[in-house]
Amino acid sequence: MRIILTGGGTGGHVYPAISIKEIIQKKYPDTEFLYIGIKDKAEEHIINALPEGSVIPLEFITASGLPRSMSPVKIARFKFDFLKGTFKSLKIIRKFSPDLIIATGGYVTAPVLFAGALLRKKQLIHEQNSIPGLVNRILGRFVNKIFITFQDSSALFRKGKTVHTGYPTRKAIEIKQKSDSRRKIGIPDGAKVVFIFGGSSGARNINESVARNLEILLSAEDIFIIHGTGKDKKEGYRAYTETKNLLEELYPTFLSEERYRCRDYFYDIEDIYSAADLIVCRAGAGTIMECSAIGKPMILVPKSGLPGNHQEKNAEFVERCNGAVVVYEEKFNGQSCLNDSEFARTILNTISDNDLLRELSSNSKTIFNENTSEIIIREIDQILKT
């Protein structure tokens, strides 16, 4: 069996593809995979950093996001990139001759799915968020099935197309002994560990708020903060470099790794998750479901202004389940920002309340669908048989 995987731009689109690959490989170990992505995006560095023996061959195409403005230049660029990406995808698909194409989101998937439809290939989409993106809503008409994470998403797709699978987590995402993980990364057993991150490309508002409030956050003697800034990959924002520069400017003689550890990206995130008592993160479905799978308390900071406000909808869903505390971004002079005092106060209040941490942990576990792997492989088998 031969399968093409595609999805990218952020880890939230790449990791579900890796998880689905693992599910398929468990039943069909001889399956050949090919990953189609965009060069220098999250998919390239995540796929290439997989453990030896798990790396997937990569092919790159050109693609860009649908412009939000009616700028003739931007629209022309989008059309050019889409056509160029479609022609390259046609070439790749013809050569590889897949039995199935699996798309997990991001604008790279548009030309791949369109080319797959032209070649009448069997295709499926996995939609992670409660509010699907425009690409998935449009191209969902041309695929065999749409796997959804949140049951409510079914109303936004053509009737009969969706299957509520839940979110597939990677094999690496499993709860480990907290003491073992802490010993591995050098954190005292008695510390209260807060893991703060904003995804592989970073979240400026979160990074800057952490930097501005670091002295306050560390005012409690038993708190240890692990901060994942994101990589210097995002156009217009060098997440790690700009955060480190701000920290050095604010605390020229204060910073040490004794109780604050700052990295651009954690490839051993399963150990970081296991070591943490509280996770502060964006509200992408992938992060939510990974934390839910291992029952971790969360403070969610949904990114505002995204299509359909899907992160805010994700966060509202978890909040209704009492599985997370939510801190919403605010608008100031037309820009989204975080209320620093609310952000710091929420972290300190949550990490110091053991009863709340236990409640959030217990409730977050209820969000995750433990039968996801079985449903996904069953549905893939049905698609391949038709």
- Per-residue pLDDT of the chain in tens (386 residues, 90 and over written 9): 999 999 998 888 999 999 999 999 999 999 999 999 999 888 998 899 888 878 899 999 999 987 777 788 888 998 999 999 999 999 999 999 999 999 999 999 999 999 999 999 999 999 988 888 778 888 888 899 999 988 888 888 888 899 999 999 877 677 778 889 999 989 988 899 999 999 878 899 999 999 999 999 998 889 999 999 998 876 678 999 999 999 999 988 777 778 999 999 888 888 999 999 999 999 988 889 889 988 999 999 999 877 778 899 899 989 999 999 999 998 776 678 888 889 999 999 999 999 999 999 999 988 888 889 999 999 999 999 98
Q: Which CATH superfamily is domain 2-168+370-385 in?
A: Glycogen Phosphorylase B; (3.40.50.2000)
Residue in the structure block whose two tokens are 């936004």: 156
178-365 matches 2-168+370-385 in CATH topology: yes
Q: Rounded distance, CA 103 to CA 146, Å?
A: 10
Q: Which helix (DSSP H) or strand (DSSP E) does residue 300 occupy?
A: strand 298-300
The answer to whether 275 and 182 are in contact (CB under 8 A) is yes
Q: How many CA atoms within 13 Å lie on the side-chain side of 252? A: 1
The answer to whether 47 and 144 are in contact (CB under 8 A) is no
Output the CA torsion sign for 358, 174, 136, 303: positive
Grouping H, G, I as helix, E, B as strand and the rest as coil, residue 98 is coil
Q: Rounded distance, CA 62 to CA 81, Å?
A: 6
Distances from the Cα of 109 to the Cαs of 14, 91, 127, 131, 341, in angstroms?
Answer: 11, 15, 12, 17, 40
Structural domain boundaries of the chain? 2-168+370-385, 178-365
The answer to whether 7 and 38 are in contact (CB under 8 A) is no
Q: Rounded distance, CA 260 to CA 234, Å?
A: 24
Query: Could you tell me the fold of the domain covering 178-365?
Result: Rossmann fold (3.40.50)
Q: Which helix (DSSP H) or strand (DSSP E) does residue 350 occupy?
A: helix 340-351
